């Protein structure tokens, strides 16, 4: 669920090529996987883009290493202070969050909200934001096990059962994998669907059957496609990169109408078929730009574009640079053919 109150408040989630710095306030007894759910999508975006799109800093309440539920201490780069920082703040918590909800920390969070453009409650971090009255009058989500208790404890907050919620300057998530969803949404909003799709390939949400010989396809590995018709359509897209199928034929191969397929895509992955298909083709093209010395005309033809100029326009619109700029910037990664 995404809910924007106004464009100004959501400005950090708009298209940008500028680096985004994020402060992570990690509280004791946080899950390692929750920390990774925030950091790893950002790291993946940096690696795939070949540039530092995101930078993060780990903070703790007192600046000391913080113990996690795995008994592994996470070193801090500093202590959290209510200074006039204008960096987005993510508050991460899993268990025993009440031990950290001291009057001093709640006051610091309230003071930080005067300057921080965005404050996020990650999993149980939502409780901390509610305790500091930072979610009053807003929609927010929590872990499903805590939903009833949270709704009763904070009637002034619009508790909802969603994976993540963006309401104005506040972001909240309901668990580790929903946090990955949120970070992919941040990447999609800032750098576009193509990069978010490539980053999603780094994560596998669904465990394939032990009896299935064919592994998940590369592009669908990171997507939670619960409808087999969407999965089948994506496989067909992957098999027809050079000669793309029109929507009507794609739907016919799946056995449903074009309109029904569009609805299923929107419900399943949050994007219409043509957007997903174009992202698959552009990502395939970008890999060829980086990993080969093929001409851009050949790359355009191999990824279903009618001309090199049409390819270049779509490429720039998606990646905010031309194919030649990508190749020059990442020429150290090009392998001879």
Q: Is the pLDDT of residue 172 over 90?
A: yes
pLDDT 10s digits, 314-329: 999 999 999 999 999 9
Are the C-beta atoms of 150 and 156 separated by less than 8 Å? no
Q: Is the pLDDT of residue 10 over 90?
A: no
Are the C-beta atoms of 159 and 121 separated by less than 8 Å? no
pLDDT classification of 272: cutoffs 50, 70, 90: very high
Report the distance separating Cα 26 and Cα 76, nearest Å.
Answer: 9
Res 15: pLDDT: 86
Res 4: pLDDT: 46
Average pLDDT, rounded, for the chain: 88
Res 201: pLDDT: 84
Backbone angles phi, psi at 299, to 5 degrees: -65, -40
Q: Is the pLDDT of residue 332 over 90?
A: no
Are the C-beta atoms of 309 and 6 separated by less than 8 Å? no
3-class DSSP assignment, residue 24: strand
Res 94: pLDDT: 94
pLDDT classification of 207: cutoffs 50, 70, 90: very low
pLDDT classification of 75: cutoffs 50, 70, 90: very high
pLDDT 10s digits, 18-27: 999 999 999 9
Short-list 15, 22, 10, 20, CA closest to 168: 10
Q: What is the set of domains in the chain, with CATH numbers?
A: 2-191 (3.40.50.880), 226-328 (1.10.10.60)
Short-list 85, 131, 67, 71, CA closest to 105: 131
Short-list 328, 320, 322, 311, CA closest to 53: 320
Are the C-beta atoms of 52 and 81 separated by less than 8 Å? no
Percentage, residues of the chain above pLDDT 90? 78
pLDDT classification of 11: cutoffs 50, 70, 90: low
Are the C-beta atoms of 262 and 272 separated by less than 8 Å? yes
For the full predicted model, state whether its pTM sits above 0.75. yes
Beta strands in the chain (DSSP E): 2-3, 20-26, 54-59, 66-67, 73-74, 89-93, 119-123, 139-140, 158-159, 164-167, 170-173
């Amino acid at each position: 669920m995404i809910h924007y109150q106004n464009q100004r408040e959501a400005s950090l989630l708009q298209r940008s090529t500028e680096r985004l710095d994020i402060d992570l306030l990690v509280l004791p007894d946080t899950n390692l996987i929750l920390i990774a759910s925030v950091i790893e999508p950002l790291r993946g975006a940096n690696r795939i883009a070949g540039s530092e799109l995101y930078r993060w800093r780990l903070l703790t309440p007192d600046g000391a290493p913080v113990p996690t539920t795995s008994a592994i201490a996470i070193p801090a780069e500093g202590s959290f202070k209510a200074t006039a920082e204008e960096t987005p703040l993510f508050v991460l918590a899993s268990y025993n969050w009440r031990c950290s909800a001291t009057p001093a920390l709640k006051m610091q969070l309230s003071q930080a909200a005067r300057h921080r453009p965005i404050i996020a409650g990650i999993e149980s971090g939502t409780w901390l934001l509610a305790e500091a009255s930072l979610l009053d009058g807003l929609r927010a989500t929590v872990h499903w096990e805590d939903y009833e208790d949270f709704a009763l404890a904070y009637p002034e907050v619009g508790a909802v059962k969603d994976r993540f919620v963006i309401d104005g300057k506040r972001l909240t998530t309901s668990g580790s994998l929903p946090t990955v969803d949120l970070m992919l949404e941040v990447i999609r909003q800032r750098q576009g669907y193509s990069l978010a799709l490539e980053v999603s390939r780094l994560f596998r949400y669904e465990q394939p059957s032990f009896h299935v010989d064919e592994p998940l396809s590369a592009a669908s590995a990171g997507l939670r496609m619960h409808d087999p018709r969407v999965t089948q359509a994506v496989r067909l897209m992957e098999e027809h990169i050079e000669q793309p199928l029109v929507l009507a034929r794609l739907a016919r191969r799946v056995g449903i109408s074009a309109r029904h397929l569009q609805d299923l895509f929107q419900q399943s992955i949050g994007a219409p078929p043509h957007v997903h298909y174009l992202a698959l083709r552009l990502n395939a093209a970008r890999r060829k730009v980086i990993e080969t010395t093929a001409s851009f005309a050949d790359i355009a033809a191999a990824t279903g574009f009618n001309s090199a100029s049409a390819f270049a326009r779509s490429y720039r619109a998606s990646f905010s640079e031309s194919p030649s700029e990508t190749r020059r910037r990442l020429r150290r990664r090009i392998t001879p053919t």
